[in-house]
């Protein structure tokens, strides 16, 4: 039996940009006003009649090689055996170094308790055999969560049979959120010139 | 093609002005300390008058600097975690020890200096030089390890920080020794020899600093897309005036010209150029920290 390694596939052929994942996450994790663990970036491109709206649901990639864990001065950020990256709220001193170095802007400081928080794929639900709240709530089932090492799960089947990509592979963080049919213009920041 | 971001969530400010102030203060401290050792460790007798001022300034700034950190962190009362839960790969963990050892060493070194114990002064000064280099060098590593930000993620960053620390330290020392001689000494005369030899040192350091900044920007301009974006931001974007005008022209090029051209160099112009440098280096820290984290990552 191989080690469990969680990962997520987001199938953008199915995503309708409804923000249900953002809302479900807020509700499940009591995320305060003004900050988000999971959100959907939306871009509009082209000129009528050749136009398209592209969506990019964003959340913590729970990277295989997380830079936030490397730089945390108090080891408040750590990686579990199944790959999920967590922040210990009792140990975090709120120095924000992890926020500054995260290539995915996945972290925020909780204004109520002044410690850093982020998406951890609802490990409290996953440990009970359930799915993360965003995966459960997604109406077109565009988010698929599971064990990357298990070839019989849907996440493994999709990874094996679809062209997938991750955000900023050049960072060497080895993200574990894989996108099917992501739009290049949504993947990179807007250029104003 | 027309592309516009219709909806996105932007990150909170992570470091901000307090961290820029912190870097500035540690820089002044490290610079002052190295200057104070010139006479007492390296035996350059003409720099003897600044030895005692140097060590007082170094200790003072290093007491002020961590205060900026405590105001910045979300949970200042949990700061003791830094000494209990260590992470060898985090520059901040290195820093929590450097920020403790360095001021203690400063105080011991200064105590022996004021007691007139030459041998012990030399020993603790020798220990202090690498500590001073690391206490400021590690702040460069804090930024250099921030691989998400193109402006920070360069191996030049610790060198840039060390050289600019020396630049700001020397400029401040020129100002302080002028003020001290003019208003607080018995003779009320300024030690011109000292001021001008510090001026020469300052000019040399500014030239090295300009070279490092030039190589940094040249590489950013042809590197990956985010590096090009941030190069445009500091050259012509929101930080253009601060980076080009305040930091480099006003804070480095004009003072360097004043210090290098003999016809322009007198006590008044050296004082003015030192003020320009001290202000310019502050904006160097400001541009590096706030400019580096300004652009959205996604």
Q: Which of A122, A128, A118 is nearest to A96 (CA)?
A: A118
pLDDT at B125: 93
Residues A20-71: tens digit of each pLDDT: 999 999 999 999 999 999 999 999 999 999 999 999 999 999 999 999 999 9
Instruction: Report the gap between the CA of A150 and the closest CA in chain B (Å).
Output: 31
CB contact under 8 A, A43 and B4: yes
Q: Give dist(CA B142, CA B161) in Å, integer.
A: 11
The residue with tokens 């400019």 is: B291
CB contact under 8 A, A67 and B81: no
Q: What is the CA radius of gyration of chain A?
A: 17
CA dihedral in degrees (B4, B6, B8, B13; nearest 10)?
Answer: 60
Instruction: Report the gap between the CA of B135 and the closest CA in chain A (Å).
Output: 16
pTM score: 0.94
Chunked into runs of 10 residues, chain A (193 residues) has average pLDDT values of 89 96 96 95 94 96 96 96 95 96 95 95 96 96 95 93 95 96 91 62
pLDDT at B186: 81
The encoded tokens of residue B105 equal 């060493």
Contacts of A185 in chain B (CB under 8 A): 1, 3
Q: Give dist(CA A87, CA A69) in Å, integer.
A: 9
The residue with tokens 């001026």 is: B199
CB contact under 8 A, A71 and B92: yes
- How far is the CA of B114 from the CAs of B44, B52, B238, in angstroms? 18, 7, 48
Residue B160: how many other CB atoms lie within 10 Å = 21
CB contact under 8 A, B4 and A97: no
CB contact under 8 A, B145 and A114: no
Q: Is A65 on the interface with B (CB under 8 A)?
A: no
Q: What is the CA radius of gyration of chain B?
A: 20
Q: Is A103 on the interface with B (CB under 8 A)?
A: yes
Phi-psi region of A180 (alpha: psi -120 to 50; beta: other; left: phi over 0): beta
Low-confidence ranges of chain B (pLDDT < 50): none
Q: Give dist(CA A33, CA A142) in Å, integer.
A: 26
Q: Which of B161, B125, B131, B157 is nearest to B43 (CA)?
A: B125
Contacts of A100 in chain B (CB under 8 A): 14-15, 146, 148-149, 293
pLDDT at B124: 94
Contacts of B83 in chain A (CB under 8 A): none
Burial B77-104, CB ≥16 within 10 A → b, else e: ebbebbeebebeebbbbbbbebbeebbe
For chain A, the residue count is: 193
pLDDT at B10: 87
pLDDT at B190: 84
pLDDT at A171: 94
Q: Is A102 on the interface with B (CB under 8 A)?
A: yes
Q: What is the ipTM of this complex?
A: 0.91
Which residue in the set B3, B81, B96 is minimally distant from A43, CB to CB?
Answer: B3
């Amino acid at each position: 039996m191989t080690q469990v390694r969680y990962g997520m596939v987001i199938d953008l052929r199915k995503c309708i940009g409804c923000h249900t994942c953002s809302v479900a996450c807020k509700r499940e994790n009591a995320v305060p006003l003004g900050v988000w663990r999971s959100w959907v970036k939306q871009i509009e491109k082209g000129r009528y009649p050749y136009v398209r709206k592209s969506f990019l649901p964003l959340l913590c990639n729970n990277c295989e090689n997380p830079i936030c864990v490397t730089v945390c001065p108090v080891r408040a950020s750590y990686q579990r055996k199944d790959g999920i990256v967590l922040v210990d709220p009792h140990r975090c001193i709120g120095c924000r170094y992890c926020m500054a170095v995260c290539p995915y802007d996945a972290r925020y400081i909780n204004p109520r308790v002044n410690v850093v928080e982020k998406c951890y794929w609802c490990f409290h639900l996953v440990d009970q055999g359930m799915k993360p709240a965003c995966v459960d709530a997604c109406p077109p089932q565009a988010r698929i969560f599971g064990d990357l090492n298990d070839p019989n799960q849907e996440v493994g089947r999709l990874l094996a049979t679809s062209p997938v990509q991750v955000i900023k592979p050049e960072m060497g963080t080895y993200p574990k959120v894989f996108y099917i049919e992501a739009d290049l213009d949504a993947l990179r920041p807007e250029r104003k010139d | 093609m027309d592309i516009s971001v219709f909806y996105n969530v932007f990150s909170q400010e992570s470091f901000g002005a307090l961290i820029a102030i912190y870097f500035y203060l540690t820089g002044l401290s490290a610079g002052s300390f190295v200057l104070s050792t010139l006479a007492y460790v390296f035996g350059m007798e003409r720099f003897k008058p600044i030895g005692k001022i140097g060590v007082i300034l170094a200790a003072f700034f290093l007491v002020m600097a961590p205060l900026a950190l405590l105001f910045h962190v979300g949970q200042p009362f949990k700061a003791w975690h830094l000494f209990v839960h260590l992470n060898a790969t985090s520059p901040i963990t290195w820093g929590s020890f450097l920020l403790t050892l360095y001021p203690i060493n400063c105080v011991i070194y200064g105590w022996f200096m004021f007691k007139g114990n030459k041998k012990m002064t030399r020993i603790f000064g020798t220990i202090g030089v690498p500590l001073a280099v690391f206490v400021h060098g590690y702040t460069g590593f804090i930024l250099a390890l921030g691989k998400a930000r193109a402006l920070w993620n360069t191996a030049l960053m610790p060198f840039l920080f060390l050289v600019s620390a020396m630049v700001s330290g020397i400029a401040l020392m020129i100002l302080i020794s002028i003020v001290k001689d003019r208003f607080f000494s018995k003779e009320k005369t300024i030690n011109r020899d000292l001021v001008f030899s510090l001026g020469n040192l300052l000019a040399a350091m500014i030239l090295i600093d300009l070279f490092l900044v030039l190589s940094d920007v040249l590489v950013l301009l042809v590197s990956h897309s985010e590096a090009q974006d941030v190069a445009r931001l500091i050259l012509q974007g929101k930080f253009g005036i601060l980076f080009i005008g305040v930091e480099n022209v006003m804070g480095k090029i004009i003072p360097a010209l004043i210090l290098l051209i003999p016809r322009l160099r007198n006590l008044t112009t050296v004082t003015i150029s030192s003020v320009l440098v001290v202000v310019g280096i502050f904006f160097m820290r400001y541009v590096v920290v706030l400019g580096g984290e300004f652009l959205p990552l996604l």
